[in-house]
Amino acid sequence: MLKMELRHLALLTDFGERDYFVASVKAVALAINPYLNIIDITHNVPSFNFEAAGFILTACYRLFPAGTIFLAIVDPGVGSERKIIMVLTEKYYFLGPDNGILWPALQTQRVLDIREIKTKKYFLTPGRTTFEGRDRLAPAAAFLSLGLEPSEFGPSLTKIKSIPLAHPVIKKNLISGSVIYVDKFGNLITNIPKEIVADLIRNGKKFIIIIKDRVIKKFAKRYVDSVSGQPFGLINSLGFLEIALNMGSAAEELGAGPGTPVNVSII
C-alpha cells in the first residue's frame, strides 16, 4: 500500500485539449502515484513556442504550494540530442526538455540541484520514443512525487540551456522595451517593470507611451478607470507595464503582438 503522499503536479504543454496526449501523460503519472493531484496550467501554448511557455510558468509558479512538481513540455526537439532535465529549487521541482523552457522561471529562484533524466528503469519503456512527455518525463515526475531523490534520475548538470530574455533599455528620457506576451483579453504585457514606472510617478515625471506610432497619454490604476475605446497603460498583476483597452483588445486595436517595441518617453 502506497503511503498517502499528497503532492501537486502542475502541467504546462502545447498538446492542446482535443487528443490523447494530455490524458496519456496524466495516466502514466497516476499509474505510478494514484494520489497525485494534477493541475493543468495550460495545454494551449502555441505549438512549439517554448518562450511563451516559459513566460506563463514564470507568471504563476511562485503561487503554488511548496513541493509542487512542475512538468513543462513544449518540445520541438523531442527525441533529439537535447537533454531532458529535473531542477530542484528551494521550494519546487521543475521537469522538462532542456531547451530554455525552464530558464525564465529559474532566474528568480535559488537552484539547488540539476539532473539529466537518464535512468532507464524509471522510463515507461527503455527504448527510443517520439513521446518523451509520456514515456520519460511523466514517470520521472511521478516517481519523484513518491519521494525518490533527484540524484536517482541521472547525473548532475552544472548548467542548462538559456534563452535570451528581452530587457528594456533605459536612456536618459526614454525607456525602450517590447511586448513579451498577449493574453486572451488582448492585453499587451511588456517587459518594463513596475519599479521604473513607479519611479517616474514618484518623481513627478510626466510620460507618454509610444507603440506602433500611437501615442498613449492615459495611465490608469484600474481597467475601469480608462476611457472606453482608448488604449491606456497600467501596471498589471504580474508587475509589468501593460497596454490595455477596457472591454476590448489592445492587441487588435494596435496591431501589436510579442516583439512589438514599446517606448516610454518622459516629456
The binding site for a second copy (CB under 8 A) comprises 6, 8, 10, 15-24, 26-28, 30-31, 34-35, 37-45, 47-48, 56, 59-60, 63-65, 68, 76-80, 128-131, 134-135, 183-185, 221-224, 234-237, 246-247
Q: How far is the CB of 88 from a second copy (least distance, A)?
A: 19
Between 79 and 147, name the residue whose CB sits nearer to a second copy: 79
Handedness of CA 6, 154, 126, 48 (dihedral sign): positive
Spacing of C-alpha 37 from chain mean position:
20
For a second copy, the closer CB: 79 or 257: 79
Q: What contacts 233, CB < 8 A, 6 or more positions away?
A: 197, 209, 216, 218, 219, 220, 241, 242, 243, 244
Give CA separation, 132 vs 58, 74, 137, 143, in Å. 23, 11, 6, 15
Backbone angles phi, psi at 222, to 5 degrees: -140, 155
| Alpha-carbon span 64 to 11, nearest angstrom | 12
Minimum Å gap between C-beta 59 and a second copy is: 4
Nearer to a second copy, 16 or 255 (CB): 16
45 or 160: whose CB is closer to a second copy?
A: 45
CB of 17 to a second copy, least distance (A): 6
Question: Closest separation between CB of residue 69 and a second copy, Å?
Answer: 13
